[in-house]
Homo-oligomer: A and B are copies of this chain.
């Protein structure tokens, strides 16, 4: 087992080097970028659909979709009106890494984009360990997953700059103690900006959209 640690460290530092290159390419093009992470089925693709659909007239949004298999998600992003949608299939890998994004970025016309959303593989563990070079990370939690997830997946909750709590329309039908959930979040990521919303009904989506626009504008004015 002693050989595992140095190998992992080497992979990580190569990853961080390429993440820095990705960031530089995005910065040079003036593109703001988000890394969407979540459990399978929490609503990453649905949030992309809603965001692209609502902001299509205001922002040119490119999407890079990571999945083990299929191009279902890139197809959904394109159908919702993303100006560009690129699929990465990881084969069996449980997360995106900076190498994969580095290979995908040349397929994106960055000059024709204001915002790049990268949809990571559905997983509450592995994606937290691999920086991609994106500007901010967003965790999409969802009500039916249950209120104990911050306690059980601390790295993911610790390392993000924004938290979306999706599927609030299901609150009447499942047990979910919002105060217990929030307590867990606060212990790991005090004051993290949080957007309770429903991609399905549209409830609560406006504050999220305003935050996205604000982030893009902040980037433009730098």
Interface residues of A (CB under 8 A from B): 3-4, 7, 11, 39-41, 67-70, 72-73, 92-94, 121-126, 129, 142, 144-146, 148-149, 151-155, 167, 169-170, 173-175, 200
- The residue on B at minimum CB distance from A169 is B173
| A142 surroundings in chain B (CB, below 8 A) | 41, 144
Task: Compute how far the CA of A9 lies from the CA of B83 in the bound complex, rounded to whole angstroms.
Answer: 41
Subset of 30 A-B contacts with CB under 8 Å:
A3-B7, A4-B7, A39-B41, A40-B124, A40-B145, A40-B149, A40-B152, A40-B153, A41-B144, A41-B145, A67-B152, A68-B153, A68-B154, A69-B151, A69-B152, A69-B153, A70-B151, A70-B152, A72-B148, A73-B152, A92-B129, A92-B155, A94-B125, A122-B124, A122-B152, A122-B153, A123-B126, A142-B144, A144-B170, A170-B174
Closest to A145 in B: B41
Number of copies: 2
| Chain B neighbourhood of A200, CB < 8 A | 174-175
> Which residues of B are found within 8 Å of A40, using beta-carbon distances?
39, 124, 145, 149, 152-153
Inter-chain CA distance A85–B176, complex, in Å, is 25
Q: Which of A3, A122, A151 has the most CB of B within 10 A?
A: A122
- Chain A binding surface SS class: loop
Give the residue among A124, A125, A142, A145 with the most B Cβ atoms within 10 A.
A125
A175 to B201, CA, bound (A): 12
Contact of A149 with B41 in the complex, beta carbons under 8 Å: yes
Residues B126 and A94 in contact, CB atoms below 8 Å apart: yes
User: How far apart are A173's CB and chain B's nearest CB, in angstroms?
Assistant: 6
Residues of B within 8 A of A152 (CB): 40, 67-70, 72-73, 122
Least Cβ distance of A97 to chain B in Å? 11
Q: Assuming the A-B contacts A149-B40, A173-B173, are A123 and B121 also in contact, with contact meaning beta carbons closer than 8 angstroms in the complex?
A: no
The reply to whether B69 and A154 form a contact with Cβ atoms under 8 Å apart is yes
- Chain B residues positioned under 8 Å from A145 (CB to CB): 39-41
CA A149 to CA B67, docked complex, whole Å:
11
